[in-house]
Amino acid sequence: MDLRERLNARLKEAMREKDSRRVGTLRLINAALKDQDIALRAEGRTVGDAEATATMAKMVKQRQESTRAYEEAGRLELAQAEMEEIAIIEAFLPKRLSDEEVATAVNDAIADTGATSIRDMGKVMGALKAKYTGQIDFGAVGPVVKDRLNQD
C-alpha cells in the first residue's frame, strides 16, 4: 500500500471515529500533496512517496517551530495542538535514525561521494537527503558532516 493509499485509509478511519484533530491534519497533508501534484502537472507526473515524505517532514518542522513560539508566548493549549499534529504526521514518516545510525550514514555518504574536504559538504548532504529524507534532522546533521570532513 503506497503512502497516499495509507493516508486516505487513515482519513476514512478518523472520519468514522469522528476524530476532528486527525481528520484536519490528514486533510492538510492531502491538500499539500495535491498542491504539489498541480505544480508538477506541467512535467506530466505526480508526487512520489519520497517527495511526499519530504513534504511531511517539512510540515513537522513547521509545527515544531510553531510549538516553540507558542510555548514562549505561554499559549500551552496551542502548543499541545501542534504537538498532536506532529504525532499524526510522524506516523507516516520513516523511523528516525539513532545517533549511531546517523554517524554510520554520514561515514557511508562521505565514502560513497569520495568527499575529502569541507568543499564536498554539498555532495555529502545531497547523498544523505536522497537516501534518508524524513529519517534525519538535516539541521542537526550538517555540523556533524562538517566536523567529520574537517577531521580528514
Measure the CA–CA gap between 148 and 56, rounded to whole angstroms.
29
Please compute the mean of the pLDDT values over residues 37-49 and round it to a whole number: 88
On whether the CB atoms of residues 138 and 130 are closer than 8 A, the answer is no
68-111 tens-digit pLDDT = 999 999 999 999 999 999 999 999 988 888 888 888 988 888 88
Cα→Cα distances 35→18, 26, 30, 47, 138, Å: 26, 14, 9, 10, 24
> Right CATH number for 3-90 from 1.10.1040.10, 2.50.20.10, 1.10.1510.10, 3.40.50.300?
1.10.1510.10
pLDDT at 111: 87
- The per-residue DSSP string of 26-57 comes to HHHHHHHHHHHHHHHGGGT----HHHHHHHHH
Other CB atoms within 10 A of residue 84 CB: 14
Confidence of residue 152 (pLDDT cuts 50, 70, 90): low
Percent of the chain with pLDDT over 70: 99
Identify which of 140, 116, 114 has the alpha carbon closest to the alpha carbon of residue 127: 114
Which residues of the chain does CATH 1.10.10.410 include?
99-151
Nearest to 4 by CA among 71, 50, 40: 50
Supply the CATH classification number for the domain 99-151: 1.10.10.410
H or E element at residue 110: helix 99-113
CA distance 69 to 57: 19
Q: Which amino acid is at 54?
A: A
